[in-house]
Amino acid sequence: MAPSGQSADHRPLSADDWTTRALTLLMDEGVAAVKISRLCSDFGVTKGSFYWRFDDLESLKEAIAVKWCAQSKRSLEDMAGLAALEPLERLRAMTRGVVNDRMWSVQRALRDWARSDEQVAETLAQTDAFMFGLVQQTLEELGSAPDRARTLAGLLVYASIGFAHGPSGLPQPDEGDIDGLMRLLAEDRGTRGGDQPPAT
């Protein structure tokens, strides 16, 4: 039988090998699949092999968090980098990205782990703060006064987190809802400083 690809030969497994495989499992099969025993059987090694690279499961989770947050930040930067688009379109792109992203399971797992792991918590916190900054800034470009931009951005970011956590009976927003949201944000335009709000 031909070698099945993976580690049919026995070159050593790096820490990144473990982390990459774990993240893949997390995305494909959910948090329940992220188990040391599962990883070992995937790689065809025994558990001692895992413990050579990591202190325990927690360390692996921290590594997963770092890897995923880096990826996530990069894709957010890409969206924001579309500075060519006018602010409202950028917001719409981000919203759509949040709504139909299938990365939720990862985000949920990370927030869960963050509650018992300071490292994971901090990694996630940075990503959250980054996103908050992007949204706030975009809203200000849109014409919202700084105060309102801050409140609205908080609302939007928290909503996106909540959205990742509840298929629970709430209406799943469709394109129309996104339009409604954008209209709502757009109307905020002109609330800044001394400008006159257009009366329609």
Choose one: 6-14, 17-25, 76-84, 145-153; the region binding a copy of itself (CB under 8 A).
Answer: 145-153
Tokens of 179: 């339009």
The rounded distance, in Å, linking the Cα atoms of 50 and 32 is 18
Shortest distance (Å) from residue 183 CB to a copy of itself: 8
Structure tokens at 1: 């039988």
What is the smallest separation between the CB atom of 69 and DNA, expressed in angstroms?
Answer: 22
- For a copy of itself, what does the binding mask look like between residues 118 and 137, x meaning CB under 8 A? ---xx-xxxxxx--x-----
Interface residue with a copy of itself among 7, 20, 59, 151 (CB under 8 A) is 151
For 74, the 3-state DSSP assignment is helix
Q: Which is nearer to DNA, 38 or 108 (CB)?
A: 38
Question: Would you say 4 or 168 has its CB closer to a copy of itself?
Answer: 168
- Minimum separation from the CB atom of position 21 to a copy of itself (A): 23
Site mask, a copy of itself, residues 17-56, x = CB under 8 A? ---------------x------------------------
CB atoms within 10 A of CB 68: 22
As a whole number of angstroms, the distance between CA 46 and CA 40 comes to 6
How far apart are CB 44 and DNA at their closest, in Å? Answer: 7
Q: Provide the binding-site residues for DNA, judged by CB under 7 A.
A: 10, 12-13, 35-38, 44-49, 51-53, 55-58
Number of Cβ within a 10 Å radius of residue 141: 15
**Alpha carbons 22 and 35: distance in angstroms, whole number:** 8
Question: How many angstroms separate the CA atoms of 43 and 14, rounded?
Answer: 12
Give φ, ψ of 81 to 5 degrees.
-65, -15
| Number of C-beta neighbours around residue 120 at 10 A | 24
Q: Which residues are near a copy of itself by CB under 8 A?
A: 32, 108, 111-112, 114, 116, 121-122, 124-129, 132, 147-148, 150-152, 154-171, 173, 177, 180-181, 184, 196-197, 199-200
